[in-house]
């Protein structure tokens, strides 16, 4: 059969073409993102096979040399999954067999495509997650810098979308910086779930070969292995859902911030602006400067927040063991990393060019923003709080309220005491908990 060698599982019967097209789905396209990790995992696996006597020294050297050649092809963007080849695993083995003959066929001993896919996905997730850590830190640093730069510039705080109490740009920027510290803490928990080695679980029930799973765990830099081989296979879908939830947590911060920006850029607020070249216009209204970037960040962030639910629906009520349903998770999950990376980068990029309005509170509509300040001042002078509240209310009703715009907040985390140093320290602690030598 012409295609027999191109499928790791194929025997003597060709699969119907329509069945093949449907079952392969988007695997061939998405597997290109996994190619480098398939090679990395294969090198670790064959080193272990040599230790247990399934490969000779010469066979190991030949396989490693050829796998390194394939890795170079991948790095040069020249790697392709050929027509009739089912997936990246089949393509790599086919290339090895063409060059090395029977030696290339030995690479699959002691593993299944099930644990191969699990491993490739975990290596992919781990690498992508570390890139996201760097982007989160970059955005965090910019927010902290802006918070410190504009810490004394006041802006209105709102509750129920009504003018409420004085806030500041220091508080606003700093709030989203601290939000990212919690997001990264969640990210670290998800990373710890990913950073466990499934290789050696084979089809989900282990192997009669005397595999040394700790060897591949150490070679691949995993924190530990998924010890139980059945659970290793059960982790397919679970790890993706945990990571998708963590992506959604970061996305939630970005979507909320983007909504603030869209409001604050509007003429009814006018708190911030950007140079014309960072906004877009209208086809019929020449005065428009639209916040398209932040509207798209908001939409992309909200879209990715639906991913955990999508994965849950795919995996609901699946029994233990492998099921082809799990293949579909890749279609929504793998592109989500580019989505969140783009959103993090573009938020940072736009904040490099943000302009802050330093005279917002000169507008009369913010006069009553300072009513609570007067209530608190009367309390400090000895008046009971409820009496002070009534007194200020009467002054407002009678048109006698005169705001004192000198803000004297001093407690931790307030306008006059942002505690940004503590927020930075926490971010550094969480960031340093991620490995740096993978």
How far is it, in rounded angstroms, from Cα 288 to Cα 119? 50
Nearest by Cα to 255 from 211, 299, 298, 286: 298
Regarding whether 90 and 61 lie in a shared domain, the answer is yes
User: What CATH number does the domain containing 69 carry?
Assistant: 1.10.275.10
Tell me which residue range forms the domain holding 379: 364-397
**Of 109, 126, 151, the domain-final residue:** 109
Residue 52 has pLDDT above 60, yes or no: yes
Statement to judge: residues 298 and 383 lie in one domain? no
pLDDT in tens, 330-355: 999 999 999 999 999 999 999 999 99
SS3 419: coil
Give the per-residue pLDDT at 322. 87
**DSSP code string of 380-402:** HTT--HHHHHHHHHHHHHTT---
Is 163 inside a domain boundary?
yes
CA dihedral 412, 418, 424, 430 (to 10 degrees): 50
| 196 within domain boundaries | yes
Give the model confidence (pLDDT) of 145-167 as tens digits. Answer: 999 999 999 999 999 999 888 89
Answer yes or no: do 202 and 312 share one domain.
yes
For the chain, percent helix, then strand, then coil, each to nearest 5? 65, 5, 30
Q: For position 4, what pLDDT does the model report?
A: 40
Are residue 64 and residue 186 in the same domain, yes or no? no
Beta strands in 315-359 (DSSP E): 355-356
Cβ neighbour number for residue 17 with a 10 Å cutoff: 8
How far is the first Cα of the chain from the last one, in angstroms, to the nearest whole number? 42
Which residue has tokens 């700093």? 174
pLDDT tens digit string along 361-388? 889 889 988 998 899 999 999 999 999 9
- The residues that bridge with 273 in the sheet, in sequence order, are 355
Q: Which residues of 75-209 form beta strands (DSSP E)?
A: 154-159, 162-168, 196-197
Give the CATH number of the domain where residue 283 resides: 1.20.200.10
Number of domains the chain contains: 3
What's the average model confidence in pLDDT over 171-176? Answer: 98
Last residue of a domain, one of 66, 90, 109: 109
> Are residues 254 and 373 both part of a single domain?
no
Q: Are strands 196-197 and 355-356 parallel, antiparallel or unpaired?
A: unpaired
Average pLDDT on 41-48 reads 98
Same domain? 358 vs 368:
no
Name the band, by pLDDT with cuts 50, 70 and 90, for residue 246.
very high
Higher pLDDT, 408 or 254: 254
Q: Residue 209 — pLDDT band, cuts 50, 70, 90?
A: very high
Residue 291 CA to residue 278 CA, distance in Å, equals: 8
Asked whether residue 214 is domain-assigned, the answer is no
Let me know whether 294 and 341 are in one domain. Answer: yes
Domain membership of residue 32 (yes or no) is: yes
Q: What is the mean pLDDT of residues 301-320?
A: 94
Same domain, 42 and 85: yes
Residue 4 lies in a domain: no
**What is the tens place of the pLDDT at every residue in 84-121?**
888 899 999 999 999 999 999 999 999 998 999 999 99
Please check whether residues 135 and 50 belong to one and the same domain: no
Asked whether residue 223 is domain-assigned, the answer is: no
Q: Does position 415 have pLDDT exceeding 60, yes or no?
A: yes
Same domain, 274 and 421: yes
Cβ distance 60 to 47 under 8 Å? Answer: yes
> What pLDDT score was predicted for residue 437?
84
Average pLDDT over residues 255-281: 89
- For strands 196-197 and 224-225, give the pairing: parallel
pLDDT of residue 284: 52
- Please name every residue paired with 225 in a beta bridge, in sequence order, or none if there are none: 197
Within a domain: 213: no
In a domain, 314, yes or no: yes
pLDDT at 433 over 70: yes
Are 301 and 330 in the same domain?
yes
Cα gap 438→430, rounded to integer Å: 17
Q: Which of 249, 201, 206 is nearest to 226 (CA)?
A: 201
Do 159 and 238 share a domain, yes or no? Answer: yes
Residue that terminates a domain, selected from 109, 137, 163 = 109
The two three-digit tokens of residue 386, written as one number? 């409820």
Segment among 280-294, 296-310, 335-349, 416-430 with least mean pLDDT: 280-294
């Amino acid at each position: 059969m012409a295609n027999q060698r191109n499928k790791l599982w194929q025997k003597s019967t060709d699969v119907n073409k329509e069945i093949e097209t449907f079952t392969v789905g988007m695997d061939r396209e998405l597997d290109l993102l996994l190619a480098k990790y398939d090679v990395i995992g294969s090198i670790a696996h064959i080193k272990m096979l040599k230790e247990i006597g399934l490969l000779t020294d010469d066979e190991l050297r030949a396989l490693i040399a050829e796998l390194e050649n394939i890795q170079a092809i991948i790095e040069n963007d020249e790697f392709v999954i050929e027509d009739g080849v089912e997936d990246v695993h089949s393509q790599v083995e086919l290339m090895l067999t063409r060059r090395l003959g029977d030696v290339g066929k030995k690479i699959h001993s002691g593993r299944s495509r099930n644990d191969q896919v699990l491993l490739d996905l975990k290596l992919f997730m781990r690498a992508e997650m570390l890139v996201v850590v760097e982007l989160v830190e970059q955005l965090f640093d910019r927010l902290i810098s802006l918070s410190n730069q504009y810490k004394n510039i006041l802006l209105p705080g709102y509750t129920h979308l009504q003018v409420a109490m004085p806030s500041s740009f220091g508080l606003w920027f700093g709030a989203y910086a601290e939000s990212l510290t919690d997001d990264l803490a969640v990210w670290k928990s998800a990373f710890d779930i990913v950073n466990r080695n499934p290789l050696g679980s084979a089809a989900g029930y282990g192997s009669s070969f005397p595999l040394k799973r700790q060897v591949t765990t150490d070679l691949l830099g995993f924190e530990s292995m998924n010890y139980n081989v059945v659970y290793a296979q059960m982790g397919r879908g679970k790890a993706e859902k945990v990571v998708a939830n963590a992506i959604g947590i970061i996305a939630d911060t970005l979507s909320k911030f983007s909504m603030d920006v869209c409001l604050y850029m509007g003429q009814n607020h006018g708190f911030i602006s950007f140079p014309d070249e960072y906004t877009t216009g209208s086809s019929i209204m020449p005065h428009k400067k639209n916040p398209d970037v932040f509207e798209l960040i908001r939409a992309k962030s909200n879209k990715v927040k639906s991913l955990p639910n999508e994965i849950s629906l795919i995996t609901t009520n699946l029994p233990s063991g492998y099921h082809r349903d799990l293949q579909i998770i890749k279609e929504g999950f793998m592109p989500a990393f580019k989505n969140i990376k783009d959103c993090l980068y573009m938020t940072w990029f736009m904040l490099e060019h943000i302009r802050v309005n330093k005279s917002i509170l000169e507008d009369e509509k913010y006069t009553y923003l300072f009513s609570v300040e007067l209530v608190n001042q009367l309390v400090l002078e000895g008046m009971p709080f409820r009496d002070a509240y009534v007194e200020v209310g009467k002054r407002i009703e009678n048109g006698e309220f005169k705001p004192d715009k000198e803000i004297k907040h001093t407690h931790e985390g307030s306008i006059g005491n942002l505690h940004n140093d503590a927020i930075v320290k926490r971010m550094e602690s969480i960031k340093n908990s991620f490995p740096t030598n993978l």
